[in-house]
Amino acid sequence: MKYLNGGWMIRDGFQVEYANMIYDVKIEKKKVTLYCPLKEVKDKGQTLDGGMITIEISAPAEDSFKIRQYHYKGTKNLGPHFSVNEELLDLKVKQTDEVLIIQNSNAKIKCVFGSPMSMYFYYKDELITSSLDQSKAIVIDDQKEAHSAEQLTLGIREKIYGLGERFGNFVKNGQSIEIWNEDGGTGTEQAYKNIPFYISNKNYGLFVNDPGKVEFEIGSEKVSRIQFSVPGQSLEYVLFFADDMKGVLNAYTKMTGRPSLPPLWSSGLWLSTSFLTNYDEQTVLSFVDGMKEKGIPLEVFHFDCLWMKEYEWCNFTFDERTFPDPKGLLKKLHERGLKVCVWINPYIGQKSPLFDEGMEKGYFIKRINGDVWQWDKWQAGLAIVDFTNPNAVKWYTDHLKKLLDLGVDCFKTDFGERIPTDAVYFDGCDPYKMHNYYAYLYNKIVYDFLVKEKGQDNAVLFARSASVGSQQFPVHWGGDCSSDYLSMAESLRAGLSFGLSGFGYWSHDISGFENGATSDLYKRWTQFGLLSSHSRYHGSWEYKVPWLYGEEAVEVTRAFTKLKLSLMPYLQNASVIASKQGLPVLRAMVLEFESDPNVFEIDTQYMLGPDLLVAPIFNEEGLATFYVPEGVWTDLLTNETYGPGWYTKRYDYFHLPLLVRQNSILVMKKDTESAMYDQKSVFEVHIYEPQTNNHTVIYDQKGKEIGSVSFVKEKGRVNVSEKGCRIENIFIHENGLTVQI
């Protein structure tokens, strides 16, 4: 929210008052409270007829501070509230006549008394950011609504990232961003997955603990400050400090929830019926059998909208006109070794047989006058399931249970963004704050149901909407993208931002959702899609089976599907890291090489796990311009080596920049017919440009260690040791040569 008019004035219709000074302090074991009048107070008489902002400082974890500032304390706080893991630690406090020092492990705050008040945030005695004069504010907007606001300084060469899955510029400097879930496609400033958390290349992160509309001005009102505000009389935010950006993500996801480990099969190739295409059992089996005939391993088949009758979404029943024997069809898919996914959403159209029951039993969100909240967007007379009602939750999941009994394995949890604010919920919560939070609640209910029914190793969603904590319910995909290179690039930008917002796994519609793809785009997006954590072909009005795009498209799909399946031990290792440390599988370059200023703004390439650099190709000419960081890198597909610097090269459809980091160990699976493997599987090991010592672990689908590989380089000789798994071949790639040992 912008409320200033240049450097000196306030916008017309706005009133702004700032915390002016620290007048008094209350020091407790686990909390320090600052009492900050809205005007300078020089004598006791000036304490009359004036407001105050109270600031409470605590330590929810090591090297972190929680700061809560409020104007009026007595306002209702109905919830919902984000679920956070915190254990308030003891603070070390030192006070003099001029400053107050608050210490938590390596992090500290220096509060300066006097007018204007200021707060300085340090990590290991390095100044990271500051809250200076006219930063902490209570704002009355031009609609007479109150907002609580704060500003932190934005340093020279400092870059801000994250804030959810955002399709605009990867670096958020200069942007105004609203944390408000919208169903707007991938080509605007709107986003499906808004997260009020940003991360800085100065190795700190900030989380605004509020599920409502948080508004950020990142150098976009005051160019050297990051401003954030929420409606109401109070604002709570948490600062995380660490040695690097990875440490910040670790701390943030420890508080808000780690990404859960999805089942191994979910990393294989998914094929969809597409959105509004006509399909029946014959169509489905022709797709599945066609993939097998073409030698393309398929792991999951997905039924989109029209598995149910039109106008009846959702009725959770296969349309008997086109699927007279759905259980038999799903059995045929299982016999072909596939998992089955079906599309659902939290909406019930008025024509659905479930509508009357939901209405009579109070399972839907209501209007203030007690009517069911309905509109005609998406489905005629649509109602929204009220997941704050335990009986509605059971009713909804009972219908999902019937689908599991039929043979369904997982759900695509679509929608959840168009949630009204003029509504009443069963539990009496604040409908304004439920707008974003609903996405979390919806996906949590479906995910927890799957965990209960299928077991942890079989729980996976394909979700579109998200809020804070939704990283615990993988996987998420990037929404409705167009079928062109511009949209392919904006999808990648979104995935990079998403990964820097605490989410471990991410997918996108290969070749684009809207409109039809060209054969060229299909093949290039296939490369990108199969070098992502999760891979799915999906579209709107067109089927996305590869043979519709030419024989070469079939060959490219086969080649990159098998490549991904060979990389599954490596990708599973990256997934386990995501589940334990909150680091994304698909990583922005700055996360791995934050000391290299060349990578600060790179959003057209990424690291797939810690050791693979991927640069998708975004043009019909087959040209890739990519940056190689320090060290010797080896092309996985050609064995060509690269040193640090920028390159521009032309590639055919079977190649793209796919470079392996020096000193890395790549464990590859020899069987490329499935994503699955276990301790009895056969692996081969590739060691690239060994420099010192290294070690890697092989994990099974439950994240249990089943083997490991290590090497030691001494006097020019590489000694390799392995245990626990069947290693058939070991290759050393060094100085452009490959030697088998």
Active-site residue identified among 158, 165, 299, 480: 480
Annotated catalytic, 417? yes
Query: How far apart (Å, rounded) are the C-alpha atoms in residues 277 and 223?
Result: 48
Residues 6+ apart with CB under 8 A from 207: 196, 197, 237, 238, 240, 252, 255, 256, 468
Residues 6+ apart with CB under 8 A from 408: 330, 340, 341, 342
> Which pair of tokens denotes residue 346?
């939290």
Annotated catalytic, 280? no
Let me know if 728 is exposed, middle or buried by CB neighbors in 10 A (0-12, 13-18, 19+): exposed
Query: How far apart (Å, rounded) are the C-alpha atoms in residues 147 and 133?
Result: 18
Phi, psi of 490 (to 5 degrees): -70, -30
Tell me 157's DSSP state.
Answer: T
C-beta separation of 127 from 203 below 8 A: no
Annotated catalytic, 671? no
C-beta separation of 145 from 139 below 8 A: no
Q: Which amino acid is at 416?
A: G
CA quadruple 547, 550, 554, 560: dihedral sign: negative
Let me know if 624 is exposed, middle or buried by CB neighbors in 10 A (0-12, 13-18, 19+): buried
> Which pair of tokens denotes residue 200?
């800085």
* Count of CA atoms in the C-beta half-sphere (13 A) of 439: 32
**Total number of residues shown for the chain:** 741
Active-site residue identified among 210, 304, 417, 689: 417
Q: Which residue has tokens 């394995």?
A: 409
Q: How many other C-beta atoms can be found within 10 angstroms of the C-beta atom of residue 474?
A: 29
> Which pair of tokens denotes residue 256?
């808000």
- Which has the closest alpha carbon to 109: 93, 90, 97? 93
Catalytic machinery residues: 414, 417, 480
